[in-house]
């Protein structure tokens, strides 16, 4: 069983066979040139779709590392619920980076950047955010790689969320119910949370979300930055 101190690496499912797996590309460079792993070393490899493998490095070539699988684990360190975090795009790219990293560590499975009434249009760095999610998955010992989806328009997104999911929209003008109480009482396996950008959601947007089954909730009495609210909300539903 992998420990918290063990290094984690990534190999996509197509690189994995019943008894061995290959690590190539950027991950191979990180394995050999940064972490300086050598033949006989043991570590953990995750496939991004729910499996973790205890492996031993058996061979390296110029382009790949071949590892022998010693043991495998299903959904190692993964939560029982599937959380989607939709968030209004922020002016600061570094704040979005922080949000993606920390919410991946907490267990979020899907991120959806949103265009809202109060969003300042900017270039969405989806590829960068996907790489950050990969790094955070390995750092936190997860085996599911969160998906960062393309930017969606707010009203379109809330209208397409499955009715089977529990849907929350934290809003600063709401005094009750609290997200923590609702999350404790909720038994669903799928949760969707919408977090507003700087300036929050407009009243019209909250109304639209409510029409599509979202429950307005409070995260407390203080006004929080978007990235702080996202981390708090995800921590509450995933704890």
In a domain, 3, yes or no: no
Let me know whether 90 and 48 are in one domain: no
Q: What is the rounded radius of gyration, in angstroms, for the C-alpha atoms of the chain?
A: 20
Half-sphere exposure of 54 (CA within 13 A, CB side): 9
pLDDT computed for residue 153 by the predictor: 97
Of residues 182 and 162, which shows the higher confidence score? 162
Closest CA to 225 of 83, 92, 130, 85: 92
In a domain, 189, yes or no: yes
Total tally of structural domains belonging to the chain: 2
In a domain, 1, yes or no: no
Those residues with Cβ within 8 angstroms of residue 225's Cβ, 6 or more apart along the chain or in another chain: 95, 198
Let me know whether 96 and 206 are in one domain: yes
pLDDT computed for residue 130 by the predictor: 98
State how far the Cα of 135 lies from the Cα of 113, in Å rounded to an integer: 19
Please report which helix (H) or strand (E) contains residue 182, including its range. Answer: helix 179-185
126-140 vs 93-106: helix axis angle to the nearest 10? 40
Let me know whether 97 and 32 are in one domain: no
State how far the Cα of 229 lies from the Cα of 19, in Å rounded to an integer: 43
Let me know whether 134 and 177 are in one domain: yes
Let me know whether 53 and 88 are in one domain: no
Q: What is the arithmetic mean of pLDDT over 218-235? A: 94
Model pLDDT for residues 18-69, shown as the tens digit of each residue: 999 999 999 999 999 999 999 999 999 999 999 999 999 999 999 999 999 9
Distances (CA, A) of 163 to 167, 169, 190, 194, 195: 9, 15, 10, 15, 19
State how far the Cα of 79 lies from the Cα of 50, in Å rounded to an integer: 11
Let me know whether 62 and 125 are in one domain: no
- CATH number, residue 34: 2.40.240.20
Per-residue pLDDT band at 85 (split at 50, 70, 90): very high
In a domain, 167, yes or no: yes
Model pLDDT for residues 123-141, shown as the tens digit of each residue: 789 999 999 999 999 999 9
Take residue 121 and report the two structure tokens written for it: 């249009």
């Amino acid at each position: 069983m992998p420990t918290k101190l063990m290094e984690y690496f990534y190999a996509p499912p197509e690189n994995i066979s019943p008894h061995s797996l290959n690590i190539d590309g950027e991950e191979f460079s990180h394995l050999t040139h940064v972490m300086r792993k050598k033949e006989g070393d043991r570590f953990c490899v995750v496939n991004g779709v729910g499996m973790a493998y205890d492996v031993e490095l058996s061979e390296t070539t110029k382009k790949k590392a071949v590892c022998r699988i010693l043991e495998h684990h299903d959904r190692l360190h993964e939560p029982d619920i599937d959380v989607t975090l939709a968030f209004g795009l922020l002016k600061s790219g570094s704040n979005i980076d922080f949000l993606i990293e920390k919410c991946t560590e907490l267990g979020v499975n899907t991120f959806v950047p949103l265009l809202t009434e109060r969003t300042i249009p900017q270039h969405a760095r989806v590829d960068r955010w996907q790489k950050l999610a990969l790094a955070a998955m390995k750092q936190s010992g997860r085996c599911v790689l969160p998906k960062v989806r393309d930017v969606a328009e707010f009203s379109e997104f809330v209208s397409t969320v499955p009715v089977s999911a529990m849907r929350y929209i934290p809003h600063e003008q709401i005094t009750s119910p609290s997200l923590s109480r609702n999350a404790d009482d909720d038994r669903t396996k799928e949760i969707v949370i919408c977090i507003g950008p700087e300036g929050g959601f407009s009243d019209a947007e909250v109304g639209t979300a409510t029409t599509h089954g979202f429950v307005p909730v409070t995260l407390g009495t203080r006004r929080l930055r978007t990235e702080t609210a996202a981390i708090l909300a995800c921590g509450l539903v995933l704890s």
